[in-house]
Chains A and B, each alone.
Chain A
Amino acid sequence: MKTTIAGTEIDVNEEGYLTDASQWNEAIAAAIAAEENVGPLTDAHWKIIQHLREKHAADEQVTIRSLNKSGVAPTKEFYALFPKGPLKKAARIAGVPKPAGCI
């Protein structure tokens, strides 16, 4: 479905996740972050957001543990930056799909 965020028309699924990562921009990220009660976005947030976008482009899965292990975001800090369900919130802000199981 279509929706307009930060003045741009984008395609999202029923949970508000972008279905086309290429439609994303930083203003969209900031607007979604506000909706999720995250932010204001700092360099520490952007570093994680960029990392999620790069991994998505490379078709690689990201987990809370891989963020921790790769040094991108120690887990305690990740929770502080994106409270309550950090990975699903960070993914939505980054314009990539929600981490999901198969059903």
Chain B
Amino acid sequence: MKNLIILGAGTAGTMMAHHLRKRLSAAEWTITIVDRSENHYYQPGFLFLPFDMIEERAIVKPVRDLLPGDVDFIFAPIERIDAEANRVHLGGRDPIDYDLLVVATGSHIAPDEIEGMNGEGWRREVFDFYTFEGARALRDRLATWAGGKLVVHITEMPIKCPVAPLEFAFLADSFFKKRGIRDRVEITFVTPLSGAFTKPKASRALGHLLADKHIALEADFAVQKVDPERKCLVSWDDREVDYDLLVTTPTNMGSDAMEASGLGDDLNFIPTHKNTLQSIAHENIFVIGDATNLPASKAGSVAHFESETLTENILRFLEGKPLLETFDGHSNCFIESGDGKALLIDFNYEYEPHPGRFPFSWGPMALLKESRLNHWGKLAFRWIYWHILLKARPLPGIPLQKRPPKEDAA
């Protein structure tokens, strides 16, 4: 028997377990997946939880229930990969050996990276919504918050779901309007980038949204520290932004286990071939999802597109055939813009988000434009996630590679 091990049973690892179990002979291969969490969270739900727009039980399921029955699940922390010995060391158990390894350990927030962030104000006036606990604590705080200065902040790029903080600011505007206290809340969006929108086509189409919603912008803000006593963010060029409530997105990092294995870059993301998904360092290690260092978005939709290429490439690798270079950075995301509307964006390594229709040339959805249908699309995404994406079932009409925008099409 040969062993294929998948590290991480989140979005990407679960998809790969389904893909590979369908394609690898059970007589020849055992498939084992490892995670230190027994719960699988639907992370896009973390955006809605703070505003009490979704129930906790709708966004969490047991990992085991989401996996194919004939895949072994090991509930343990991954400590280290010994790539020379093809072995994975686990916490509190014997190590396990692999013939082929798929790393899908994702990314997580690291608030300790910024001085003062994880200090006395953490989950009192300083919150994240990138974890289940953070989103839940923020919901409880927002329910009774009387108003003041709300600062929505990105520490540094890359972060998973890079538009989520902006969506948070838009939803906060709607939330306070509904609660009738919008006039008592000042919302400021603070970003290390040059603006809320950084790509020319998106800036043109959406640049008006911040002003429409009376959200102030503090751009090019590289945070040096959080001062929990004076309640302000301080930048490296000595600017300060005061807050009463800070909703920050801390530095996102790959798994510590990658650092311990010598496989990560300085944020513990794994150098990966951008079109084949093979790791740069070892030919029998493949990487998928947020764990890679690819210049693609860290998003569930990206993991879905990657999983198609990765499945073919693992089979090809095992047969000694050349790998396909078919992953093109394709990403497709709904963006909540508040007031029951959303936008849809579609892009890849080559093409920035552009106006148009999706998935077909006639629609039904509009790209880079607010609509109610897109909002319903975002809500329906949860069902699609649990029942289609994770189970590696096909998504009709949604191509693996991005279709070029009309003006660029040959």
A interface list, Cβ under 8 A from B = 13-15, 59-61, 63-66, 69-70, 75-76, 78-79, 83-88, 98-103
Q: Provide the bound-state CA to CA distance between A31 and B194, in Å.
A: 22
Q: Report the count of interface residues on B (CB-CB < 8 A).
A: 37
Partner of B345, one of A14, A99, A103: A103
**Which of chain B's residues has its CB closest to A76's CB?**
B236
List B contacts of A101 (CB < 8 A): 157, 162-163, 191, 193, 197-199
Given contacts A69-B266, A103-B202, contact A60 B293 (CB under 8 A): yes
Taking a contact as CB atoms under 8 Å apart, the answer to whether B345 and A100 are in contact is: no
Name the residue in A70, A83, A101 with the highest tally of chain B Cβ atoms < 10 Å from its Cβ: A101
Interface string of B296-329 (1 = CB under 8 A from A): 0100000000000000000000000000000000
* Closest Cβ–Cβ distance, residue B358 to chain A (whole Å): 15
Main SS at interface, chain A: loop
Supply 12 A–B pairs (Cβ within 8 Å), ascending by A.
A14-B200, A59-B274, A65-B156, A85-B220, A98-B194, A98-B198, A101-B157, A101-B163, A101-B199, A102-B162, A102-B297, A103-B162
Residue of A nearest to B203 (CB): A103
Residues on the A chain within 8 Å of B157, using CB:
61, 63, 99, 101
Q: Once bound together, how far apart are the Cα atoms of A14 and B201, in whole Å? A: 11
Query: CB-CB < 8 A to B197: which residues of A?
Result: 101, 103
Check B266–A103 contact: CB distance below 8 A. no
Q: B266 contacts which of A14, A66, A78 (Cβ < 8 Å)?
A: A66
The answer to the question of B335 belonging to the interface, with a C-beta cut-off of 8 Å to chain A, is: yes
Q: What sequence of 0s and 1s flags, for each residue 220-236 of chain B, a beta carbon within 8 Å of any chain A beta carbon?
A: 10101000000000001
Name A84's contact: one of B237, B293, B333 (CB within 8 Å). B237
Q: Which B residues lie within 8 Å of A64 (CB)?
A: 156, 192, 222, 236
B95 CB, nearest partner CB in chain A, Å: 31
The answer to whether A99 and B193 touch (CB under 8 A), given A59-B274, A65-B251, is yes
Contacts of B222 in A (CB 8 A): 64, 75, 79, 86-87
Cβ < 8 Å to A, chain B residues 141-170: 156-158, 162-163
Residue from the list B194, B206, B331 in contact with A102, Cβ < 8 A: B331
Of A13, A78, A79, which is within 8 A of B200 by CB? Answer: A13
Residues of B within 8 A of A59 (CB): 274, 294-295
Complex alpha-carbon distance, A98 and B157, angstroms: 13
Q: Known contacts A63-B157, A66-B267; decide if A103 and B236 are in contact (CB<8 Å).
A: no
In the complex, which residues of chain A have a beta carbon less than 8 angstroms from the beta carbon of B198?
98-101, 103
Say whether A103 contacts B193, CB under 8 Å.
Answer: no
**How near does chain B come to A60, taking the closest CB pair, in angstroms?**
7
